[in-house]
Structure 1
Amino acid sequence: MAKVLVVIARPKSPKSRTLKVLNAFMDEYVKKHPNDEIDKLDLYQDDFPEIDGDLLSAWDMLEAGKPFDTLTKVQQTDVTEFNGATDQFLASNKVVIANPLVNLMIPTKLKAWIDAVTVAGKTFKYTEKGAIPLTSGKKVIHIQAAGGKYNNQDFGTQYVHQVLNFIGVQSIQKINVEGMDHFLIRQPKL
């Protein structure tokens, strides 16, 4: 039995090609691995926090020795969600990431989640010779939908894969769903 983390980085939409492919993939996955434990993290539905002034000041306060309960409720929630995402990632054997390509890049909530799992001392560490990964043995499936054709050369794919490699994930498979809008000509309405 494996622990599978499904990271959904797409607002719910009836037209979402990302979610259609993710759902089809997960239906087949569950049939083939019925005993695996699946945990879903919907970054938009759960309003996953991004690094902002509240979170940065909370980290500064905690580093200065302030008790957790002296943080504002927003800061406590943000710190808890970030730390929880790190722990959830570390506890998973397999990770499925599903996102659309938005303006040649990943959605901001996926960037926020990547910030939460790229943590010095937990998923990588600094040494005299540079950073070394602390995460190994994880398998990642990256599902990405795009209107154009990029053949894995888009900035979103490159970013996700390079960061995961940086923290030690070596097994990354990509499911591309692209080209659906490649020949679509949109006329502006005047």
Structure 2
Amino acid sequence: MTKVLFVKGNPKSTEQSYSLRLGQSFVDVYAAENPGAQVTELDLYESNIPLIDAEVMTAWGKLAQQSELSHHEAAKVLRLGELVDQFLDSDVIVFAAPMWNFGYPPMVKAYMDAIAVAGKTFQYTATGPVGLAVGKKAFITEARGGVWSAGPMVSMEHSQSHLRAFLGFLGVTDVQVLLAEGLNFDPSKGEEILAEAVARAQQAAKAQPVAATV
């Protein structure tokens, strides 16, 4: 059974969000093409995603010294562990997020911080870091108000390029990016642009090998 993790990185509802609609269209078709797939949604704005704050860092220090954690420290560490285990247990990860101010919304970065754990998703070696989350596929569905994949603004794009590099660091190198760009140039054409992106996303979902069922 293929396990699909759908990571939603927009605080808007799906109906109000281009990025979530794009991601949902991919997931729906992928699930239809793979009836045995198990899809789990992780809404980063509705779920408990602990920030790497002073309390978490203190907890990590205590764990290294085998000291007892406070109730709040233990709860945060437990939740971070759950997020890492969920990521590692997934075969396909689908990210849906908009570009905000050249990058992603803050909870996407918070999630990236949560799953980057030495010894679990990557490890340091004598020749440098090595990703441990190998054998997975990732799809990045992203909506943008402007056009950042070509032209003079390319150097200011730090959304999908950052996430792709991050996933590669963790060992996830099979990554496909599906974009809807220029949505704010002419608002009257937003739905048309999204429809074209949705068609590409659905075609990409159909192009995936059908997963074996067990």
Q: Does 1:127 align with 2:128?
A: no
TM-score (norm 2): 0.79
Q: Does 1:161 align with 2:160?
A: no
One-letter amino acid of the counterpart of residue 12, structure 1? K
Alignment gaps of 5+ in structure 1: 185-190
Q: Name the Cα RMSD after superposition.
A: 1.6
Query: Alpha-carbon deviation of 1:49?
Result: 1.6
Aligned residues: 181
CA contact (8 A) 2:48 2:79 kept: no
CA distance in 1, matches of 2:158, 2:147: 13
One-letter amino acid of the counterpart of residue 76, structure 2? D
Give the 4+ runs in structure 1 shifted more than 3 A.
Answer: none
Query: Alpha-carbon deviation of 1:55?
Result: 1.2
Residue 38 (structure 2) aligns with = 37
Residue 187 (structure 1) aligns with = none
Alignment gaps of 5+ in structure 2: 188-214
Query: Alpha-carbon deviation of 1:97?
Result: 0.8
User: Structure with the greater relative contact order (CA < 8 A, sep ≥ 6): 1 or 2?
Assistant: 2
Query: Alpha-carbon deviation of 1:123?
Result: 1.4
CA distance in 2, matches of 1:101, 1:36: 29
Query: Alpha-carbon deviation of 1:76?
Result: 2.4
Q: Deviations over 1:66-118 (max 9, x none)?
A: 23xx4233x22221121111111111111001111111111111111111221
Q: Deviations over 1:15-65 (max 9, x none)?
A: 211111122222212211111111111110114121111211111122221
CA distance in 1, matches of 2:48, 2:182: 29
CA contact (8 A) 2:50 2:114 kept: no
Structure whose residues are more often helix by fraction = 2
TM-score (norm 1): 0.89
One-letter amino acid of the counterpart of residue 54, structure 1? E
One-letter amino acid of the counterpart of residue 71, structure 1? S
CA distance in 2, matches of 1:26, 1:183: 27
Residue 90 (structure 2) aligns with = 92
After superposition, residues 1-190 of structure 1 pair within 5 angstroms as 1-13=1-13, 14-67=15-68, 70-73=69-72, 75-151=73-149, 153=154, 154-183=157-186
